[in-house]
Chains A and B, each alone.
Chain A
Amino acid sequence: MKYTEEHEWLREEDGLIVVGITEHASEQLGDVVFIDLPEEGSEVTKDEEICVIESVKAASDILAPLDGEIVEVNAMLIDEPSKVNDDPLGDAWFFKMKPSDLGPMEDYMDEAAYKKFVG
């Protein structure tokens, strides 16, 4: 598992990268009430804002962690956005992408580094 400074987690699974947000991020956001997911099949560029999470407090952007194609989104979150608070690392993954360049994965933090990052 890798982590970005934007508090996303990235997990490799069957050649795809599964992306969600960390527990720390979900706590900071507060109760999540809406998620605007990217479209399946869309091509995205690293650091592009592709997803919006709305909590009771505010709207936050999710950036594409890598270049690639969104192959699947977690449609369950549309009806049950609160899953992001209940199970951010499990059921509440956001999307799966087929990366065209895995290079940036090397730059992302491992768990120990992320823990240090959030203090």
Chain B
Amino acid sequence: MAELRQTPLYDLHLELGAKMVPFAGYAMPVHYPLGVMKEHLHCRAAAGLFDVSHMGQVILRGAGAAAGLERLIPQDVIGLGEGRQRYGFFTNERGGIEDDLMFANRGDHMFLVVNAGCKEADVARLRAALEPEVQVDYIEDRALLALQGPAAEAALAAVAPEVGDMTFMDVATVSLNGAECWVSRSGYTGEDGYEISVPAGAAVDLARLLLGDERVAPIGLGARDSLRLEAGLCLYGHDIDASTSPVEAALTWGIQKLRRAGGAREGGFVGADIILAQMQDGAARKRVGLLPEGRAPMRDGTEIFAGAEGGTAVGHVTSGAFGPTLQAPMAMGYVPSALSRAGTQLFGEVRGKRLPVKVAPLPFTPANFKR
């Protein structure tokens, strides 16, 4: 792993007994001695601490930052209140998704968190579109931690009581263990919790402090993936990519009315003509939840068929795993819109066998946010 980048928590991961794997150019913990299954269940039952420092942190400064970002993403950025965060996605000319992100209004600047695998491209895209009017700062001296689960509030409030007053998608600057942290009440597990941007030099001490709470266990990328899949959340590069539109990906809930046809700031983002037309006319395919009826997991790439025999594939799985909370296999994938209604019987081909699978509503496990 000599060429892999390390997060500020690398040595702590080794000390905690993590199995490290390459992920998006970084050496990252896939699991700790507890193992994926127990880590997943622990996060749903108590709280889990995740190192997500590989993700990109970007600051936009300047009076035109919000308006500038609206040219790249189909979200209402200008109307986002101070101290609030929103989910968004960069689109392309074909109406596809270049990356998904979280963006926050932190008063005198916007704070963005983007995917590790896309961060260089995202920064380049932002610079090309926004500079020089808007200053684009790629933050490389901060780590990013996620504290997730029903006990996350109690564990973080033990360090800084004011985080208990935050509600879902609030952001605030909070002093944690003496370090200035940028905290959001959000995450990628379907659980209540926080994401914490912390100065790199203070990250290990903060992580140790949080792990010192008996409710908090370190959680690796393995459980992060099964947690987000149970929560019905997309993984960029799998469930969404440059060839999937937000309409196909069933993400139109993330496009505020004001950016849609007839809205006050209709269109004006990359690929708007295609995306807005699809919102009117519908898309030919749709991202859906899939529940295999047997116990065999249907992994990424599994072909989906309309019938038990013959015919060509009508769709495919984009994420598939065993759901530790669900105690059953689960998947997401794309199917023709005509076959996308919940309860539709389909078949996934696993090792040459057509196995029954039903279209299912997402999320697979109910969200547990503090609204």
Contact = CB atoms under 8 A, between A and B. Distances in A.
B295 A31 contact: no
Nearest to A33: B322
Given A56-B222, A56-B321, A30 B329 contact: no
B296 A34 contact: yes
A33 B35 contact: no
B297 A33 contact: yes
Interface of B: 30-31, 35-38, 222, 226, 295-297, 299, 321-322, 324, 329, 351
Given A52-B351, A57-B222, A34 B36 contact: no
A89 to B, nearest CB: 19
A36 interface: yes
B36 A54 contact: no
A30 B296 contact: no
Interface residues on chain A, size class? 10 to 19
Contact of A33 (B30, B31, B295, B351): B295
Nearest to A28: B19
Contacts, number: 40
B356 to A, nearest CB: 15
Contact of B322 (A52, A56, A78): A56
A102 interface: no
A27 B323 CA distance: 19
Nearest to B38: A31
Given A34-B297, A52-B351, 4 more contacts: A30-B222, A54-B297, A56-B35, A59-B297
B43 to A, nearest CB: 14
A34 B31 contact: no
Interface string A32-63: 01101000000000000000101011010000
B36 A56 contact: yes
Nearest to B223: A56
26 contacts: A30-B35, A30-B36, A31-B35, A31-B36, A31-B37, A31-B324, A33-B295, A33-B297, A34-B295, A34-B322, A34-B329, A36-B296, A52-B351, A54-B296, A54-B297, A54-B322, A56-B35, A56-B37, A56-B321, A56-B324, A57-B30, A57-B36, A57-B222, A59-B299, A78-B295, A81-B295
Given A54-B322, A56-B322, A36 B351 contact: yes
Contacts of B35: 30-31, 56
Contacts of B321: 56
A30 B322 contact: no
A54 B297 CA distance: 8
Interface string A77-108: 01001000000000000000000000000000
A26 to B, nearest CB: 11
B53 to A, nearest CB: 22
A36 B3 CA distance: 38
A34 B329 CA distance: 9
A52 B294 CA distance: 15
Given A54-B322, A78-B295, A33 B329 contact: yes
Nearest to A58: B299
A52 B36 CA distance: 20
A56 B296 CA distance: 12
A30 B226 CA distance: 14
Contacts of A54: 296-297, 322
